[in-house]
Amino acid sequence: MIRKIIFYPILFLSACATIDDSVYSPFYFGPDNISIGDARLKVRQFVRENPNNFSVSRMACDSLGIYAQNSKPINYPLSTCEKEAQEYYAEIRSEIKAKSYSANKDNLARQQERIDEEIRQIAAKKTAEEEDKKRKKDELKILLKTGKKQPESVEEASIFYDAKQGEALANSPKIKPDNQFYSMVGMINRMDGDNIFVAQLLTSRSYFKVRIPEKLKDEFEKTAKVNGWFGIVGKYTENSEVLLVLLQSVPVPIFDAVYFQSLN
C-alpha cells in the first residue's frame, strides 16, 4: 500500500510537468478571456477600422489587450500580435492601393469620355454651322443668279460673278490677263485719268489699277475718297505700269469693275 501511495503522486506531477501552455492552451487568460482565433479576428477588425495607422502596428494589440503582459509563454504573445497586425496592415494597404488605382483609372476613363464627348459636340456643332453656312450661300447664289436679288456687298458680288481672290495678281501680274473675275479690297492711292485709279493692297505695298465703267461712275464719285478703302469685283483685262516715288516703274494688273463699294 505504501508503494502505491508514493507512485501515483509522482506520476501525476510528471504528467503535469509535460503540459506546455504555448502548445495546448487555445485560450489567452488576460484582460479578455478569448480564444486565439477571436483575438486574431479582433486585430483584423481593428486594422480595417483604422486603415490609416499602417505604421503603428502595436496600436491594435495595445488597444485590445490580447497579448502577454508578462514573460510567461502563451499562444499569442505581443511579438506575434504585432507581426500579424503588420501583415494585416500590408493587406489593407494593398487593397486600398488597388481600389485607388482602379478608382483613378475609372475617373480618367470618365474624364476622357467627357473630353471625347465635348470634342464630338464641338465637331458636330462646327459641321452643322458649316452646312448651314453652305446652305445659305447656295440659297443666296440661286437668288443672285436668277436675278431675284441684286448684290449688296463685295461678297455677294463675288458669288454672283464666281470671282476669285485677286491679291496675288497685284503682287505678280500674269504675262497675259485671263479675263476672269476677281475680288479686291484696297485703298485708293490716286486717280490715273477720268475713270481709272491706282490702288494699294491692304496687306502690302503692292499696287493695281481699277477702271470704273459709266454705270458705276456716279456711285464711285459720290462715295470714293483718296486714301479711302473700297472693295470691287472686276474682270482682269490688261496690265499696266505704276510709277513709284523713286521713279521706279512696276507692272500692275487692271481690273474693269463690275461692282464697286466704298468701305469708308
Write out the residue range of the structural domain in which residue 61 sits.
18-95
Asked whether residue 100 is assigned to any structural domain, the reply reads no
Asked whether residue 217 is assigned to any structural domain, the reply reads yes
pLDDT tens per residue, range 72-112: 445 667 777 778 788 888 887 788 788 777 778 788 888 88
pLDDT tens per residue, range 182-240: 999 999 999 998 899 999 998 788 999 999 999 999 999 999 999 999 999 999 999 99
Residues of the chain with pLDDT > 90: what percent?
A: 45
Asked whether residue 186 is assigned to any structural domain, the reply reads yes
Residues 242, 171 share a domain = yes
Q: In this predicted structure, what is the pLDDT of residue 4?
A: 45
Asked whether residue 119 is assigned to any structural domain, the reply reads no
- Grid cell digits, residue 252: 500692275
Is the model's pLDDT at 247 over the cut of 90? no
- Which amino acid is it at 39? A
Residues 166, 254 share a domain = yes
At which of 62, 79, 95 does a domain end? 95
Asked whether residue 147 is assigned to any structural domain, the reply reads no
Tell me the average pLDDT across 39-54. Answer: 73
Provide the number of structural domains found in the chain: 2
Tell me the average pLDDT across 131-158. Answer: 91
Beta strand 207-211 with 27-29 is unpaired
Asked whether residue 237 is assigned to any structural domain, the reply reads yes
Residues 167, 90 share a domain = no
CB-neighbour burial class of residue 89 (10 A; exposed 0-12, middle 13-18, buried 19+): buried
Q: In this predicted structure, what is the pLDDT of residue 70?
A: 43
Asked whether residue 244 is assigned to any structural domain, the reply reads yes
Asked whether residue 196 is assigned to any structural domain, the reply reads yes
Residues 165, 245 share a domain = yes
What distance in Å separates the CA atoms of residue 98 and residue 250, rounded to the nearest whole number?
Answer: 76
Residues 254, 162 share a domain = yes
> Of 170 and 65, which is predicted with more confidence?
170
What distance in Å separates the CA atoms of residue 215 and residue 193, rounded to the nearest whole number?
Answer: 17
Q: Please report, for the domain that includes residue 188, its CATH number.
A: 2.40.50.200
Beta strand 249-262 with 164-165 is unpaired
At which of 55, 80, 95 does a domain end? 95
Q: In this predicted structure, what is the pLDDT of residue 84?
A: 79
At which of 46, 80, 95 does a domain end? 95
